[in-house]
Amino acid sequence: MTGAGAAFEAATGDGPPLPGPEADPAAAERRANEVRVAYEGLLQIRRLTNTGGGDPRAVPAPWERNQPVRAVALALEAAGVPPSALDAEGRRVRTGYRAGPGERPGQVRVEWVGPPGSGAAQEEDTALARCARALERLGWEALLYRGPRRRRHLEVEPIPAPG
């Protein structure tokens, strides 16, 4: 959540819980508005920088390629996919996506995680498929992999720029 004068940061899933509409409707509405404005700004950046032909909204802009974790997190949050969250002690307290750096530069790893006993492992196939669809519509290639302990994750990277 951003306060007065603070810069917007998309939720990566490793931050504090976002305000929920049940607990704090006004804060949840402010956050939704911030996400909407940031996402509209992202699409405007794409329209202004992707002039090589085709739909400029379908290809990640240079800004996104330089900050892929932030860009992927914004795309997921704008698509309505819930982020995971940590409490002040670093314990996972919400089930949702977690976006972090991938193994290679420019790559993002997206996992579906939650608190112990939350059932996140059972939800991950469906949830990661939803994440992949949201990202692919915006020009990100999202490949599903199985990692340690048979947990799945997405490796996400921008499609090549035209030209």
What is the chain's mean pLDDT, rounded? 93
Task: Please give the pLDDT value at position 7.
Answer: 85
CA distance 93 to 108: 22
Task: Please give the pLDDT value at position 4.
Answer: 53
**What are 119-144's pLDDT values in tens digits?**
999 999 999 999 999 999 999 999 99
Quickly count: other Cβ atoms within 10 Å of residue 68's Cβ: 22
Greater confidence (96 vs 3) lies with 96
Long-range pairs for 58-64: beta carbons < 8 A, 24 or more residues apart: 58/137, 58/138, 58/139, 59/139, 59/158, 59/159, 59/161, 59/162, 60/138, 60/139, 60/140, 60/158, 60/159, 60/161, 64/158
Greater confidence (41 vs 7) lies with 41
Q: What is this structure's pTM? A: 0.92
**What are 94-106's pLDDT values in tens digits?**
999 999 999 999 9
> Which residue ranges make up each domain of the chain?
25-158
What are the tokens at 68? 């892929």
